[in-house]
Amino acid sequence: MHGDETVGREILLHLIDFLVTSYGRDPVITRLLNNTRVHIMPTMNPDGFEATKVPDCYYTRGRYNKNGEDLNRNFPDAFENNSASIQPETRAVMDWIKNETFVLSANLHGGALVASYTFDNGNPVTGSLNGYSKSPDDDVFIHLAKTYSSNHASMYKGTGCDNRQTFPGGITNGYSWYQLEGGMQDYNYVWGQCFEITLELSCCKYPPANQLEEFWKDNKVALIEYIKQVHLGVKGQVTDKNGNPIPNAIVEAKGRPHVCPYRTNEQGEYFLLLLPGTYVINATVPGFKSMLKTVEIPDNTANFSALKQDFSFPEVSDKIRSRVASCPRIPLYQELTRASAAVKPTVHILVLMTVMLVIFK
């Protein structure tokens, strides 16, 4: 995402080479590619990379695109109005997310060594007052982050890049690390129905070229194990009485609703990443009675196939089913803050009392 953070860019080129040369030779990679649709974008900010002429471990202008914008502050935000003008690179990625059914992703960065997970922004509803912004799928995100860090050569140690920065287990909630508005991982999760984490892969943003091979070796296993996690949980198709797919049907696991409900794609397909366990899956075609099914989800990542659970609505026909508009591009969590507004005055009063005590002392 940032042009001066070059390790991820090079690692993805190595990954492409590894996948295509291993296919047909390595049985695990062959099965993985036979059962997984993989999209790889080596760089989101080529202008920033070209602007960074001299390797530098720290912050440079190559972080930004040609218009001077930070692309990881440029996406619509689920918690507050993001005033940034949407950049061409950001718009292209948003269109990509909209037109594909992505389920799992990661965006790669440099400057730290940690796997960070959503939410990056937050409010009292998601727990921001306690310094942690929790999503409905927090358990899955922790698992995804740990999967990467535990398979990385050293990320799992959590030592960070200096004495001021430690990450137990090599993972962190994004908000707990620092609040970020307009980030890609929150956008992907809320509006793209895609579980994304942020991978910080090197303490040095732009290391010497002779170190790149070692970075690939450090991340190789972690990347493959992470890709396998797309087969967590449950998937299926929602159809009408004639067996035709129903797009825009809402399919979610009971007890973990999303503010922008997860819906089926044009083929009536849905994908829900869930850890092994028992869940009630709720499928709803707007205007018709919901259908509930209890499923026991195993760990199928080694088999490269999530549990399959289809839904058929016998009362729905192709002629009468309606299509639902896509989720609005507005800060969805703003509405939820009103429900917790009663908490805020108490906090403000406590802060005011503390300040007054300090003044009088």
Active centre residues (catalytic): 200
| Residue 201 CB-half CA count within 13 A | 33
Assign 3-class secondary structure to 230-273: HHCCEEEEEEECCCCECCCCEEEECCCCCCCCCECCCCCEEEEC
Q: How many whole angstroms separate alpha carbon 22 and alpha carbon 221? A: 14
- Provide the token pair at 172: 């962190």
* CA 50 – CA 86 distance, rounded (Å): 21
Long-range contacts of 252-257 (CB under 8 A, 24+ apart): 252/281, 252/282, 253/279, 253/280, 253/281, 253/282, 254/279, 254/280, 254/281, 254/282, 254/292, 255/280, 256/136, 256/137, 257/136
> Are 226 and 148 in contact, with CB atoms under 8 Å apart?
yes
Residue 332: both structure tokens together: 């969805």
The residue behind tokens 């004639």 is 242
Residue 162 DSSP code: B
